[in-house]
């Protein structure tokens, strides 16, 4: 037991003794309360609190502080409304990912390629979905990412173009997405696309393309210029598509990077719509290979080509249009904004009944746009 705990207990006993003594005096004096006695007990109480606050870093006041609610981020110290936003989170963490291909059913060999100078080696293992120590399930995409104990989802071997491998993630509600990133255990794909949905998977629009062959794979120009006229469109880039490193490579897509109106996001409905998503889909379209998949030992080579990802992240904030500081589960278990400023709806996207004196608006840094 530490010094803080011991000292806190002693002072607590001192305080308790004073209070008990006070009530005992009430009992034995026939409930005759003197002002002097009240002052004595009050001074003791204040002294105990001050001592514990000063000596033990606030421990002594914790029981009193716990009773006072923290300030509401949606209002300033004078009670005036102001813009508030939920915390920035990895909205993918712990969520289920639907995948179109996972190794291990049935158990199968796979080989990890390593290079030392000009020498290339293959270390072969077994993927077996029935054995937890040898399985690579989709849950590993969004579990706690520990660099010292990597867990990797892995596809079946040689899922090559035109056969795609798809990862689909539902965020549960609308989020304003800042980035989508994937950390690979295998080489990064030669071609890959990221899509988003704003209607819970009913329809999809492209977010970003990656390929060494943008025109052939996606009918897009490589690294096309982004202007105000096309800033809500996906582009294709050959960045992050190199086969090396053979493991540990990263692909990170920033939704606002290079978008001309990003500096004035509050006043850009186009970009506000662009970053909004309820679901994210990643499609791996083509593997990188060493060109040996058709040689004499092609079976060994093909067992070396697969997609493997240790971490899928979707960084962003619950979309509440500046009218809520957090998202909570409703009675049905759905994620919704805890709306303030007399707003309502899953994204605080309308005014409450009887607060229609002015049209609903999104809050900005300058104006809370409270419904009245």
Least confident of 158-167, 197-206, 236-245: 158-167
Where is the domain boundary, 276, 295, 314? 314
User: Is 277 buried (19+), middle (13-18) or exposed (0-12) by CB count in 10 A?
Assistant: buried
Residue 92 lies inside a defined structural domain of this protein: no
Residue 245 and residue 254 in contact, taking contact as beta carbons nearer than 8 Å: no
CA-nearest of 127, 78, 139 to 310 is 139
Question: Does one domain contain both 235 and 175?
Answer: yes
Overall average pLDDT of the 249-257 stretch: 98
Question: Does one domain contain both 80 and 128?
Answer: no
Question: Does one domain contain both 217 and 247?
Answer: yes
Question: What pLDDT is attached to residue 297?
Answer: 63
Question: What pLDDT is attached to residue 194?
Answer: 99
CA-nearest of 192, 172, 100, 181 to 145 is 181
Residue 129 lies inside a defined structural domain of this protein: yes
Distance (Å, whole) CA 277 – CA 197: 5
Residue 91 lies inside a defined structural domain of this protein: no
Question: What pLDDT is attached to residue 153?
Answer: 99
pTM, entire model: 0.80
Q: Using the predicted structure, report yes or no on whether residue 6 has a pLDDT greater than 70.
A: no
Question: What pLDDT is attached to residue 202?
Answer: 98
Question: Does one domain contain both 283 and 155?
Answer: yes
Question: What pLDDT is attached to residue 174?
Answer: 98
Distance (Å, whole) CA 345 – CA 352: 9
Residue 276 β-bridge partners: 176
CA–CA–CA angle 283, 289, 293 (5° rounding): 115
Question: Does one domain contain both 178 and 307?
Answer: yes
Question: Does one domain contain both 128 and 241?
Answer: yes
CATH number of the domain to which 212 belongs? 2.60.120.260
Residue 278 lies inside a defined structural domain of this protein: yes
Question: Does one domain contain both 308 and 324?
Answer: no
Per-residue three-class SS string for 161-174:
CCCCEEEEEEEEEE
The average confidence (pLDDT) of the chain is 85
**First-to-last C-alpha distance (Å) of the chain:** 54
Overall average pLDDT of the 93-101 stretch: 98
Residue 244 lies inside a defined structural domain of this protein: yes
Element (H, E) at 53: helix 35-55
CATH number of the domain to which 339 belongs? 2.10.25.10
Residue 93 lies inside a defined structural domain of this protein: no
Q: Using the predicted structure, report yes or no on whether residue 48 has a pLDDT greater than 60.
A: no
Question: What pLDDT is attached to residue 187?
Answer: 96
Q: Using the predicted structure, report yes or no on whether residue 309 has a pLDDT greater than 50.
A: yes
Question: What pLDDT is attached to residue 296?
Answer: 55
* 117: confidence class by pLDDT, cuts 50, 70, 90: confident
Q: Using the predicted structure, report yes or no on whether residue 8 has a pLDDT greater than 50.
A: no
Model pLDDT for residues 129-180, shown as the tens digit of each residue? 999 999 999 999 999 988 888 999 999 999 876 789 999 999 999 999 999 9
Q: Which domain holds residue 61?
A: 3-65
Question: Does one domain contain both 131 and 228?
Answer: yes
Q: Using the predicted structure, report yes or no on whether residue 62 has a pLDDT greater than 50.
A: no
CA–CA–CA angle 268, 270, 273 (5° rounding): 110
Residue 169 lies inside a defined structural domain of this protein: yes
Question: What pLDDT is attached to residue 294?
Answer: 66
Q: Using the predicted structure, report yes or no on whether residue 13 has a pLDDT greater than 90.
A: no
Question: Does one domain contain both 262 and 136?
Answer: yes
Where is the domain boundary, 284, 314, 344? 314
Question: Does one domain contain both 303 and 191?
Answer: yes
Q: Using the predicted structure, report yes or no on whether residue 64 has a pLDDT greater than 70.
A: no
In the three-class reduction of DSSP (H, G, I as helix; E, B as strand; rest coil), residue 299 is classed as helix
Within 8 A by CB and 6+ apart from 13, the residues are none
H helix intervals, 56-168: 62-65
Overall average pLDDT of the 194-212 stretch: 98
Residue 23 lies inside a defined structural domain of this protein: yes
Tell me the CA distances in angstroms from 176 to 259, 314, 326, one per residue in order: 15, 10, 13
Q: Using the predicted structure, report yes or no on whether residue 26 has a pLDDT greater than 80.
A: no
Distance (Å, whole) CA 207 – CA 232: 9
CA–CA–CA angle 67, 73, 78 (5° rounding): 85
Within 8 A by CB and 6+ apart from 32, the residues are 26
Question: Does one domain contain both 82 and 206?
Answer: no
CA-nearest of 208, 194, 213 to 288 is 213
CA 104 to chain centre: 29
Phi, psi for 8 (deg, rounded to 5): -60, -40
Query: How many domains in the chain?
Result: 3
Question: Does one domain contain both 356 and 220?
Answer: no
Within 8 A by CB and 6+ apart from 187, the residues are 243, 244, 245, 246, 247, 249, 287, 288
Phi, psi for 267 (deg, rounded to 5): -110, 20
Where is the domain boundary, 266, 296, 314? 314
CA-nearest of 227, 331, 280, 326 to 98 is 280
């Amino acid at each position: 037991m530490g010094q803080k705990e011991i000292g806190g207990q002693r002072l607590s006993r001192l305080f308790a003794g004073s209070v008990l003594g006070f009530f005992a005096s009430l009992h034995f004096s026939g409930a005759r309360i003197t002002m002097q006695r009240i002052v004595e007990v009050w001074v003791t109480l204040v002294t105990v609190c001050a001592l514990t606050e000063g000596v033990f870093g606030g421990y002594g006041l914790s029981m009193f502080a716990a009773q006072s609610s923290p300030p509401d981020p949606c209002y300033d110290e004078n009670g005036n409304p102001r813009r508030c936003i939920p915390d920035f989170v990895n909205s993918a963490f712990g969520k289920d990912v639907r995948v179109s291909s996972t190794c291990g059913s049935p158990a199968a060999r796979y080989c990890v390629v390593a290079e030392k100078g000009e020498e290339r080696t293959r270390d072969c293992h077994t993927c077996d979905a029935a054995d937890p120590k040898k399985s690579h399930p989709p849950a590993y995409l969004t579990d706690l990412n520990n660099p010292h104990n990597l867990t990797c989802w892995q596809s079946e071997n040689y899922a090559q173009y035109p056969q795609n491998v798809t990862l689909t993630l539902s965020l549960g509600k609308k989020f304003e997405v800042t980035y989508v990133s994937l950390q690979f255990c295998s080489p990064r794909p030669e071609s890959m696309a990221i899509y988003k949905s704003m209607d819970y998977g009913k329809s999809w629009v492209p977010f970003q393309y990656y390929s060494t062959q943008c025109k052939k794979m996606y009918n897009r120009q490589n690294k096309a210029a982004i202007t105000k006229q096309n800033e809500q469109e996906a582009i294709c880039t050959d960045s992050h598509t190199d086969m090396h490193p053979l493991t540990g490579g990263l692909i990170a897509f920033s939704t606002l990077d290079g978008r001309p109106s990003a500096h004035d996001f509050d006043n850009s409905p186009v970009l506000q719509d662009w970053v909004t998503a309820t679901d994210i889909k990643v499609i791996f379209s083509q593997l990188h290979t060493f060109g040996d998949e058709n040689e004499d030992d092609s079976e060994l080579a093909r067992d070396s080509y697969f997609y493997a990802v240790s971490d899928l992240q979707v960084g962003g904030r619950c979309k509440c249009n500046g009218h809520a500081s957090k998202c909570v589960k409703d009675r049905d278990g759905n994620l919704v904004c805890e709306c303030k400023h007399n707003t309502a709806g899953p994204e605080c996207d309308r005014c409450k009944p009887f607060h229609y004196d002015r049209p609903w608006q999104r809050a900005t840094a300058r104006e809370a746009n409270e419904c009245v």
